[in-house]
Structure 1
Amino acid sequence: MKGHLSHDYLIEVPAAVVWDVYCGIELPKLAAQLLRDVLGSVEVVHGDGGVGTIVKLTHPPGNVYKNRHRLKEAEIIEGGFKDKDARSSIIRSSVDYEIDDKLQELASQATMKPFEVLNEGIGKYLKQKWDSSNT
């Protein structure tokens, strides 16, 4: 059984500012700093944030996330960022999963909640930083 989940998060910051965080090593560092209670600790094991980067997440007690393998991809549409306008953009997170048909009841446990929390936390941080640097 295969499935796909997606979540769009509108952020009132230009896409180039968002991209600077999401494309590199700053994302796991910010996630660890801003969302420690939700994500636990985040350690970059290898890489610079690009393809092939390995990040170790140690979830806090009581967290039920079991999947150990995740891949971060970036997508540029029509030669540009996913800009909504010059002052805002959209962060689209998605999860593609494949589950053995014998275990298809596990599909109901697939969730976008970790990405929603991450995008909201990073979004608030970037908006605050953007507003203070442009006033």
Structure 2
Amino acid sequence: MGFHNIQKRRSDYEEIKKRLMLGAAALICALSFSSSASAASYQSGTLGGYSVSGSVYMGSNSASATTTSGTLASLYSRIEYTYYYDNYQTDTVNNYQANGSTSVTASTSAKYVSVISRWAYGTHSVTIGTQSWNASTSTL
């Protein structure tokens, strides 16, 4: 084997190494970007001078969405919960509405104990008089 062949192999090796490093860097960037772009599990604001908020929670086999207000108001919460059981995706939805309250929670549970929770999505609404505040929260 001549000197030229050894130098060519080393050059090929360096090129492969460089491409692998670039691929790994691109993968790391893509993964970090996707996790930093996730939706908020908590939203807050003010309505008529009162603080209002919405939050979503997901456990190992249940999920809930809570809407709160700093004063008595018409409140609405909706929860959508997606989980896997036995390789099938299942969605559950529940709503809860209350007038003249400061907090409402809509919750739902998986029909089975051993599931893989995937995501939960909450919808929130507060109405005080003629003013409304709406928000969405997610565990994604």
**Structure with bigger RCO (C-alpha 8 Å, 6+ apart):** 1
Name the structure where helix makes up a greater proportion of residues.
Answer: 1
Structure 1 or 2, whichever has the larger Rg, is 2
Q: TM-score, normalised by structure 2?
A: 0.29
